Amino acid sequence: MITKSKKIIDKIAFGLLSPEKIRKMSATRIITPDTYDEDGFPIEMGLMDPRLGVIEPGLRCKTCGQKVKECPGHFGHIELAMPVIHVGFAKTIYNVLKATCRGCGKLLLPEEEIIKLREDYKKVVKRGNSTAAFAKEVIKKTSKVTKCPYCGREVLPVELDKPTTYREGGRKLTPAEVREWLEKVSDALGDDLRLLDINPEVAHPEWMVLTVLPVPPVTTRPSITLETGERSEDDLTHKLVDIIRINQRLQENRDAGAPQLIVEDLWELLQYHVTTYFDNQTSGIPPARHRSGRALKTLAQRLKGKEGRFRSNLSGKRVNFSARTVISPDPNISINEVGIPIAIAKELTVPIKVTPYNIEEMKELVKRGPEPEPLEGTIYLPGVNYVIRPDGRRIRVTSENAETVAERLEVGSIIERQLDDGDIVLFNRQPSLHRMSMMAHKAKILPYKTFRLNLAVCPPYNADFDGDEMNLHVLQSEEARAEAEILMKVQEHILSPRFGGAIIGAIHDHITGCFLLTYGNKVFSKEEALYILSATGYTGKIKEKMTGKEIFSKILPEDLNLEYKAKLCNSTEEECRKNDAYVVIKNGKLLEGAIDEASIGAFKGKIIEYIMRKDGSKAARKFIDKVTKLGIASITLIGFTTGIDDEDIPEEAQMQIKGVLENAKKKIQDLIRAYREGELEQIPGRSLEETLEMEIMRVTGKARDQTGEIASRHLGLDNSAVIMARSGARGSMLNLSQMAGAVGQQAVRGERIHRGYHGRTLPHFKKGDLGAEAKGFVSSSYKSGLTPTEYFFHSMGGREGLVDTAVRTSRSGYMQRRLINALENVRLEEDGSVRETTGKVVQFHYGEDGIDPTKSIRGKAVDPELILKEVTNE
Amino acid sequence: MKFDILKHTLVPHHEILSGEDVEKLLKTYKIKKEDLPQMLVTDPVAKAIGAKDGDIVKIVRKSPTAGTSISYRLVVKKEII
């Protein structure tokens, strides 16, 4: 149960601990570097002193008398033999030293200027502007002063030798001298310290030089006992041991009157240890290492970065009621559903409050226990894992005690019921780059061990099934469930705010299937039509003979009117009408055109978009569910296969391709000859070499296109690979022409391949050869196979692509992080303006036009053409 | 001859808001003057239209999506302090 805090935080103030404060809050002074004695008991006044708190269960704290979880731990302290600089404040100390006089500690500015600055400071505070920026200006002003206006002492330049050494006029200052100086500043400046952005109420400059070091409680640095019984100490403890050891030696040497040199060496060593204790990644000094060579994780490392306290434990939290497993496809469930393995459903629970109205029902539920026997003909029955009684006690329900717990169930208890069909859950795939990466689904408990999801929701999650894993969260409150259902359900995210079009839609085989069904005027028998339509749950009449278009029309809403170019279309409207590439839907009947990616595909699907806008999310969801099933039924019935022989082209075509390539190579030779003889005409703004390269790239590009064109002339819509490419299901015509025709020019950094040996790319070529083959032109096709040199060049180009993606993802990830951190407190207000949390206006009218991109039509507020058509048709 | 920057194609229409309009603006958005976006007195356009510290300038822009869009700027003096 959550225990309520007795104290309420009103405000937090940041300041420095004074040496007195450190001593006062200390439970004990630490003098020995040893932790435990031979018997395994902590040594008094050692780093594991029992007064610093308890870490062993059963024991009581010697300071506060509380038990393990109650005692927060207590600080100790180390008296440093000599003062040392605190690295975290090295810069601040430097600024104070620069701005003040060493002789009298006063600010290096004349009286009247200081009076003015005091007034200015008040203004800055009143305006809420940055006092840090103000202090910077003050320090800048003092840098021009060469003589102290008060005591007349000459101002020597102060330098900071990073990380912690200060010099005045070239002479090294010891931390003790620095501290002395800062003490003077503290006394002389008083309230004027505010001008240097230091609040004298909570921080004195001399406290930035440590004389006493606080020792954090043992609870902050617990030691672990290994299986062998050996104790392993925390990194912080190790560091503190180092500090105490050196501190002791320093003290002994100093007291014994050792030579100045030795004392100074030890002093510097102490400075090193204290510095690394705070931050083990301070630039300019080697990080302190463990015996194994691993760098120690000290205070700054605990907080900093992705794995640090802030990003990993405060901004991010681990949660209960969640699950993660591999995903796999299930075309039979709705896009709104997610298949959950029985094993996971038995672990995840939903809390239900027991009321006078449901108590009998709940008793029955509890009686089932945690492992109920499924009913006849079902595979799963939810049980109950826990009962939380009104007093907050949590009782684990077992098969043994289920009966008694059920009988004793009272109103006000909460039972934790196992997941059941229809429960609302959140489903998520990382990286969560947009809001569709986390959507609400309805649970459907299924056998086996993977999460099942409908293929149409792969695009928003960017998921595939090559081993992807996804996370699932069970909502624990009624409000959360209601909110998720209204705002986060999959069907509410069919349209993407990214481009105002459908992001959920048919993919791959769905598109091929619908295309095969609707292209041309295929006629299906009654049995065939029945097979296809029954998959969609159609219950209406079926004619003796049906065309594919008629079958498809059965899943369209009856009042649908649309006209657009299909994906298949690659020319004018008139041309496309002839080729069945112009879609006409009238009153829910598909009259003309084949259904392909442009109609139902994710990212492009016009019909989905239109239904979503017109009839809402429920209708759109139903349509997607039906169209995917229709597509699969069609492709199953018609049959579909592809293989490398899809790229077989007749011999004459191969000869033609060969001719084109020969021709291109000859053209390149001609260009090179022209270049050598100085006849090449230079393109303005380019050197002669660049001109040649550009011309050659143009020729090679053209050659590849031509080969592709020849190949595609012999590959028609009776070819499976072409069907996939033209309907937008998978692959492109470019992919096909690379398989059948020629792969084409390989490029690195947008240029022909030119790196490698002196004057040539590979030892296979002559030096200075500028020809096609020597510079990475692949005239073979993937099908015929590449020559060794071609293969090498192809690998070069391929590698560049891989490197690019790797670099791009990490860079864009970092950019997104910064963007989100910057934009997290900007929001849209009810009046349509965009504001910061402070109330400052960012935009007066969201995006100038106030349009929600999700509800826009591909970014536009209205589609005038569509309206025109709707009006004139009717 | 000095070029009139207000006539440049990339400079949108600026005008200083009257006291009455300022009241109305602050009332419609329920904001204080300080909550508005700011522009400097030293801004070339501010100089050209003679805007002073504390004035509110109305900017009317052509927008490809909304036709015209209106925004406002509070004129401020540049002060680090």
Q: What is the pLDDT of residues A664-679, one digit of tens each?
A: 888 888 888 888 888 8
* Residue A161 CB neighbour total at 10 angstroms: 10
Select from B29, B66, B71 the Cβ nearest to the Cβ of A849: B66
Q: Tell me the CA distances in angstroms from A529 to A512, A579, A580, one per residue in order.
A: 17, 24, 21
The minimum CA-CA distance between A832 and chain B, rounded to whole Å, is 10
Q: Which residues pair with A565 in a beta bridge?
A: A582
Which of A137, A848, A852, A862 to probe the B interface (max B CBs under 10 A)?
Answer: A848
Beta strands at A322-329 and A451-453: parallel, antiparallel or unpaired: parallel
Residues of B in contact with A124 (CB under 8 A): 81
Q: Compute the 3-state secondary structure of chain A and give helix, strand, coil in percent, each to the nearest 5.
A: 40, 15, 40
* Residues A518 and A552: beta-carbon distance below 8 Å: yes
Q: Which residues pair with A416 in a beta bridge?
A: A351, A386
* Residue A225 CB neighbour total at 10 angstroms: 12
Chain A residue at shortest CA distance from B36: A841
User: If you average pLDDT over residues A253-277, what whole number do you get?
Assistant: 91
* Residue A281 CB neighbour total at 10 angstroms: 13
Q: Which two tokens stand for residue A593?
A: 């055109």
Chain B residue at shortest CA distance from A842: B37
Q: Which residues pair with B62 in a beta bridge?
A: B68
What CA–CA distance (Å, rounded) separates A542 from A469? 42
Select from B36, B69, B80 the Cβ nearest to the Cβ of A841: B36
Q: Which two tokens stand for residue A2?
A: 């959550």
User: If you average pLDDT over residues A106-115, what whole number do you get?
Assistant: 88
Give the 3-state DSSP-derived string for A736-749, with helices as H, strands as E and coil as C: HHHHHCCCEECEEC
Sheet strands (E) in A690-766: 744-745, 747-748, 751-752
The DSSP 8-state label assigned to residue A347 in this structure reads: T
Chain B residue at shortest CA distance from A831: B29
Residues of B in contact with A841 (CB under 8 A): 29, 31, 35-37
Q: What is the pLDDT of residues A424-467, one digit of tens each?
A: 999 999 988 889 999 999 999 999 999 999 999 999 999 999 99
Residues of B in contact with A843 (CB under 8 A): 71
Q: What is the pLDDT of residues A82-99, one digit of tens each?
A: 999 999 999 999 999 989
Angle at A107 between CA A101 and CA A113, to 5 degrees: 140
Task: Report pTM.
Answer: 0.81
Task: Please answer yes or no on whether B65 and A845 come within 8 Å at the CB atom.
Answer: no
* Residues A440 and A427: beta-carbon distance below 8 Å: yes
Task: Please answer yes or no on whether A841 and B29 come within 8 Å at the CB atom.
Answer: yes
User: If you average pLDDT over residues A212-221, what whole number do you get?
Assistant: 92
**Under CATH, to which class is A322-491 assigned?**
mainly beta
Task: CATH 2.40.40.20 in chain A: give the residue spans.
Answer: 322-491
For residue B1, pLDDT beyond 80 = no
User: If you average pLDDT over residues A312-325, what whole number do you get?
Assistant: 91
For residue A743, pLDDT beyond 80 = yes
Select from B31, B63, B81 the Cβ nearest to the Cβ of A123: B81
Task: CATH 1.10.274.100 in chain A: give the residue spans.
Answer: 509-556+588-637
Chain A residue at shortest CA distance from B37: A841
Residues of B in contact with A840 (CB under 8 A): 34-37
For residue A19, pLDDT beyond 70 = yes
The minimum CA-CA distance between B68 and chain A, rounded to whole Å, is 8
Sheet strands (E) in A316-461: 322-329, 337-341, 349-353, 384-388, 394-396, 414-418, 424-428, 438-446, 451-453
* Residues A600 and A510: beta-carbon distance below 8 Å: yes
Select from A120, A838, A848 the Cβ nearest to the Cβ of B81: A120
Give Dmax over CA atoms of chain B in angstroms.
44
ipTM of the complex: 0.92
Task: Please answer yes or no on whether A843 and B71 come within 8 Å at the CB atom.
Answer: yes
Q: Would you call B36 an interface residue with chain A, using a CB distance cutoff of 8 Å?
A: yes
Q: What is the pLDDT of residues A538-561, one digit of tens each?
A: 888 888 889 999 999 999 998 888
What CA–CA distance (Å, rounded) separates A472 from A465? 17
Q: What is the pLDDT of residue A4?
A: 63
Confidence label for A703 from pLDDT (cuts 50, 70 and 90) = confident
Chain B residue at shortest CA distance from A128: B81
Start-to-end CA distance of chain A, whole Å, equals 65
For residue A2, pLDDT beyond 60 = no
The pair phi, psi for residue A286, each rounded to 5°, is -70, 140
Q: What is the pLDDT of chain A when averaged over all its residues?
A: 89
Task: Please answer yes or no on whether B66 and A843 come within 8 Å at the CB atom.
Answer: no
Fold annotation for A509-556+588-637: Enzyme I; Chain A, domain 2 (1.10.274)
Which of A119, A849, A852, A857 to probe the B interface (max B CBs under 10 A)?
Answer: A849
User: If you average pLDDT over residues A7-36, what whole number do you get?
Assistant: 89
The minimum CA-CA distance between B36 and chain A, rounded to whole Å, is 5
What CA–CA distance (Å, rounded) separates B37 from A600? 45
Helices (H), A147-234: 175-189
Place of tokens 């398989």: A739
Superfamily of domain A644-802: RNA polymerase Rpb1 funnel domain (1.10.132.30)
For residue A262, pLDDT beyond 50 = yes
Identify the three-state secondary structure at position A110.
Answer: coil
User: If you average pLDDT over residues A174-201, what whole number do you get?
Assistant: 90
Confidence label for A717 from pLDDT (cuts 50, 70 and 90) = confident
Task: Please answer yes or no on whether A851 and B65 come within 8 Å at the CB atom.
Answer: yes
Residue A119, judged by CB atoms within 10 A of its CB (0-12, 13-18, 19+), counts as: exposed
Please name the CATH architecture into which domain B5-76 falls.
Alpha-Beta Complex (3.90)
Provide the CA A232 distance to its chain's centre, in angstroms.
35
Torsion angle of the four alpha carbons A733, A735, A739, A740, in this order, in degrees rounded to the nearest 10: 10
What CA–CA distance (Å, rounded) separates A440 from A132? 46
Cβ neighbours of residue A391 closer than 8 Å, sequence gap 6 or more: none
* Residues A280 and A295: beta-carbon distance below 8 Å: yes
Confidence label for B79 from pLDDT (cuts 50, 70 and 90) = low
What CA–CA distance (Å, rounded) separates A424 from A420? 9
User: If you average pLDDT over residues A555-581, what whole number do you get?
Assistant: 85
Q: Would you call B65 an interface residue with chain A, using a CB distance cutoff of 8 Å?
A: yes
* Residues A796 and A746: beta-carbon distance below 8 Å: yes
**Of A259-263, A478-482, A603-607, A852-856, where does the model show the most confidence?**
A478-482
* Residues A600 and A628: beta-carbon distance below 8 Å: no
Task: CATH 1.10.132.30 in chain A: give the residue spans.
Answer: 644-802
Q: What is the pLDDT of residue A334?
A: 93
Residue A431's nearest CA partner among A91, A81, A740, A813 is A813
- H helix or E strand, kind and range, residue A167: strand A165-168
Q: What is the pLDDT of residue A182?
A: 93
Start-to-end CA distance of chain B, whole Å, equals 37
Confidence label for A1 from pLDDT (cuts 50, 70 and 90) = very low
Q: Which residues pair with A489 in a beta bridge?
A: A440
Cβ neighbours of residue A841 closer than 8 Å, sequence gap 6 or more: A833, A834, A835, B29, B31, B35, B36, B37
Q: Domain extents for chain B? A: 5-76
Q: Which two tokens stand for residue A153?
A: 């002492």
Chain A residue at shortest CA distance from B71: A844
Q: Which residues pair with A196 in a beta bridge?
A: none
Q: Which residues pair with A173 in a beta bridge?
A: A166
Q: Which two tokens stand for residue A688?
A: 């002669």
